[in-house]
Amino acid sequence: MERALKFIASILPLIFAFAFMVPVIDAGMQAVGVNAPFGLSTLSAALIIGGAWGVFAQITGRWV
């Protein structure tokens, strides 16, 4: 149980990115009317942006 909690705690930036940031980015893009580049859906673009931001936060330990 302790190992599972340590693992979950170690990937919290990725969990936050995919569980919170991706839906917010997707909804924001749809609300503003921004089209995703290269013919992607807004969800695909949000997954790329949010996932990259989450990986950056995971590696560096900070969001900015």
Instruction: Give tens-digit pLDDT for 18-42.
Output: 999 999 999 999 999 999 999 999 9
d(CA 61, CA 18): 16
d(CA 26, CA 35): 10
d(CA 2, CA 8): 10
Query: Considering the entire predicted model, what is its pTM?
Result: 0.85
pLDDT (mean) for 8-22 = 94
Per-residue DSSP letters for 1-64? -HHHHHHHHHTHHHHHIIIIIHHHHHHHHHHHTPPPGGG--HHHHHHHHHHHHHHHHHHHSS--
